Amino acid sequence: MKSLNLKCRAKINLSIDVLGKREDNYHLVEMIMQTIDLYDNVNIEEIDSGIIIESDNEHVPTDSSNIAYKAADLIKQKFNIDKGVKIRINKNIPVAAGLAGGSTNAAAVLVGINKMWDLKLTQDELMELGLQLGADVPFCILGGAAIARGIGEKLTRIKGLGNVKILICKPDILVSTKWVYQNLDANEISKRPNTKNILNNLEENDVQALANNMVNVLESVTENEYIQIKEIKKKMIEYNALGSMMSGSGPTVFGIFNNLEYAQMAKKELQQVYKQTYLVNTYKGGIEIEG
């Protein structure tokens, strides 16, 4: 039987702005995304029929509600494939965290099945398929850094952060992206990101200026509900993070560090309260097929 192992990485948002809402209630966004070297391992094995999902994390659904299941089903139906797949997801990326953990699993399934069954889909074609599953899936296939517009589907590759240390900390709470957007009042957004400035910071590799310019307009909603987010940000800044911000709709907070010792000290302290704390680097690639 055919089998493939893949690494699929998380993302953070270096900025998020919400510009309006479409008639179908999808929000129009402008955000800068960056891949980080925190990854799940996904194994895809060919079976006679059907789709089986397994995971080492109890919070990952193993039925048809799993976005990785939906990815396999989508590609099987598109190409009228009779064979089935067993998908094993070993999680390192926190669940419901604003890090695209589910989306990157779906991206890995699309990339893996394309390879395993020699479907010869280009990266752009895979990204188009991914968009049917969720707005973050195309970026997870692309990897590196990109600016996303529209509902997140219009991606432009940009120069990302070099080999920069990122401290990730997820408090033990689950946040609904839908709830965050529903509770966002555009009239109450007091500070918005200057996307042009951030893009210039990335081009010039000015990490400190980038850290100063990071803004996530969704923070106002999630921070008001969960005090832990402010507390984690404050702790990272105390340990000399260049900047700290919530990723996505939360609740994960990240800090950018240029000093490994300070980053390790911050990690050690935060881990005493928040188990899901990781020190990683930024990453330039997308889905990685092992072997």
Instruction: Write out the catalytic residue numbers.
Output: 11, 136
| Strand stretches in 194-271, DSSP E | 243-246, 253-257
Pairing of strands 27-47, 84-90: antiparallel
Q: Report the distance separating Cα 266 and Cα 170, nearest Å.
A: 14
Give the DSSP H or E segment for 155.
Answer: strand 154-157
Q: Report the distance separating Cα 220 and Cα 280, nearest Å.
A: 26
227 in Cβ contact with 215 (< 8 Å): no
Packed helices 227-238 and 260-271: angle between N→C axes, nearest 10 degrees: 150
Single out the residue of 33, 250, 263, 276 nearest to residue 148, CA to CA. 33
Task: Report phi then psi at 25, rounded to 5.
Answer: 75, 5
The residues, ordered by sequence, that sit 6+ positions from 8 with a Cβ below 8 Å of its Cβ are 39, 40, 42, 104, 105, 107, 108, 140, 287, 288
**Which tokens hold the place of 72?**
């396999």
Q: Report the distance separating Cα 205 and Cα 41, nearest Å.
A: 31
Q: Is 69 helix (H, G, I), strand (E, B) or coil?
A: helix
Q: Report the distance separating Cα 23 and Cα 29, nearest Å.
A: 14
Task: Report phi then psi at 174, rounded to 5.
Answer: -110, 130
